[in-house]
Each structure stands twice: as C-alpha cells, then as structure tokens.
Structure 1
Amino acid sequence: MPTKKPGPSVKDDELYEKLRDEGNSKEKSARIANAAAHSSRSDVSHRGGKSPSYDDWTKDDLYRRAADIGIRGRSSMSKAELITALRNH
C-alpha cells in the first residue's frame, strides 16, 4: 500500500505509485491508474492501437497533438523529438 495518497482524483493509489516509481509523469500515472480502476488492469493495455503510429504522422499533425496536450518547447522540436515527447507524456 502506498505511504501517501496522491489525491482524491486518483482511483487506484497502488498502481499510481508504481507508475510514478517507474518514472512516469503524474498526469500519465493518474490517467493509467484511473483507467485501470474502471476495469481490470489487464484490459487497459489492450484498448489502444486504433490510431496510426506517430511515425506515420506529419510534423504538423504531431505539433498540433503536442499543443492539444500541452507539451512545452514543441515549437523548437524536430519530428523525432515530438514523437518522443508524445510517447513519454
């Protein structure tokens, strides 16, 4: 059991803390933990895959997606850097 509660918006504290320990951002950890709380943890990893790979997106599309989710420094990023930032967000 986690030693501290991350906050009332996080539905699965244990998974959240595990993801944070792995180095994930607070936002990403909360998003995954909450998705897992609404179903089984194993189902969460099987839901994705409907969008094409970021490698197939244009730089403009990657930039717009980065803007939508608030990635800082996106204006000076290359396509490869945008892909990395999006994958790690």
Structure 2
Amino acid sequence: MSAESTTTDVRDRYWQKTRNLTILVLALWVFFALIIPTLVGSLNNVTFLGFPLGFYMIAQGSLIAFVVLIWFQNWRQDSIDDEFGFGEEE
C-alpha cells in the first residue's frame, strides 16, 4: 500500500466519523426543535416542578438539550480529531 492511499484511507475514515457525528447531532436537534413542540398538547397532561411538562420542555428542556448537544458535539469532535492526528497541540 502506498503512503498516498493510506493517507486517503485515513482522511476518508476521519470524514466518515465526522459526518456520522454531524448527522446524529442534527437528528437530535430536529427532535428537540420540531418533534417535542408538536407533542406539547399531550405532554401538558403531566406536570413537572408544578408546570405542565410540555411548557417546561419548550421553555427550558429544549434549551438545556441544545447546550448539551453543543458540548457533546465539541467533545466528540475533539476525540475524533485526536484519534486521526488532527487535534490541536497543547
């Protein structure tokens, strides 16, 4: 195997992992941004901290989920970068 094909293989695996991570994060983002709001009516039958669950999920839960998703995506991308030698030097 030549060095060029090995480099291409590594780059392809890197982009495949990065693409899969991006698809996962976007799918979860769509779930919290579009799917949960459509379920608000049925979620309001349950209360959480004295508020209807649907209201709580829209007002606070989705925002918390977005922050966690951003943190997770950054943490996982750093791991992928380090795995393939593209990470930042410390």
TM-score range, shorter chain: under 0.3
Q: Which has the higher contact order (CA 8 A, sep 6+)?
A: 2
State TM-score, norm by structure 1. 0.27
Q: Which has the higher strand share?
A: 2
Structure index of larger Rg:
2
- TM-score when scaled to structure 2? 0.27
